[in-house]
Chains A and B, each alone.
Chain A
């Protein structure tokens, strides 16, 4: 089954404790991106990647890092999480073959205390 898999689904952590949210897609998509969803603000792009080893900042990149060492994986790293990073996070992927359609993961609800 074609899918984007995020883990974990829920995460509670404390300020300053490094964490990684994983994202993997099995559709051989070139393009992957991370969004955060906050009430009243919709989805805002954090980082995106056009292909392996090619990443760039989105609209709200501060406090986040990403890497794209393999085509299928695009982890989101919070080196020193802060309470303002409490949010619902989504990974998405697409390719020229999807005609601009984004495929989303099920989301990761992060709470930073």
Chain B
């Protein structure tokens, strides 16, 4: 079956530091890849997505590139802010079975300190 592995947290960074959260996946088909963000006390919301190999998703200064050769979708941001403190989930969506099956990673908590 499909699976998503992301780096364990928590990750603590100082404001304006560079962020990388690693994510690798295993899938039998050609999934779409996502990063979702969960702010404290809220539900998940889509941060960015990529639907095919070499696509780059970007939003709010975050970027991730769909790398089929390394089965990876690492999240990066050049300069984090305190407001970026949240839990980040890597996910893949597979529709090869005739329905949308979404598999999530375990989540990585990011804490940005001033």
- List the interface of chain A (C-beta within 8 A of B): 4, 31, 33, 35, 40-45, 48, 50, 90, 92, 94, 99-102, 104-107
A41 and B41 alpha carbons, distance in the complex (Å): 18
Task: Report if B82 contacts A (CB, 8 A).
Answer: no
Chain A neighbourhood of B93, CB < 8 A: 100
What count of chain B residues pass the 8 Å CB interface test? Answer: 22
Tell me whether A4 and B100 are in contact in the complex, defined as CB-CB below 8 angstroms, given that A43-B89, A101-B49 are known contacts. no
Majority-rule SS of B interface residues: strand
CB distance B43 to A42 under 8 Å?
no
CB distance A106 to B43 under 8 Å?
yes
- Neighbour of B42 across the interface among A42, A45, A94, A106, CB < 8 A: A106
Chain B neighbourhood of A40, CB < 8 A: 106
Selected A-B contacts with CB under 8 Å, 16 pairs: A33-B102, A40-B106, A42-B107, A43-B89, A43-B104, A45-B101, A94-B100, A99-B51, A100-B32, A100-B34, A100-B49, A100-B100, A100-B102, A102-B36, A106-B41, A107-B43
A94 and B102 alpha carbons, distance in the complex (Å): 11
CB distance A90 to B43 under 8 Å?
yes
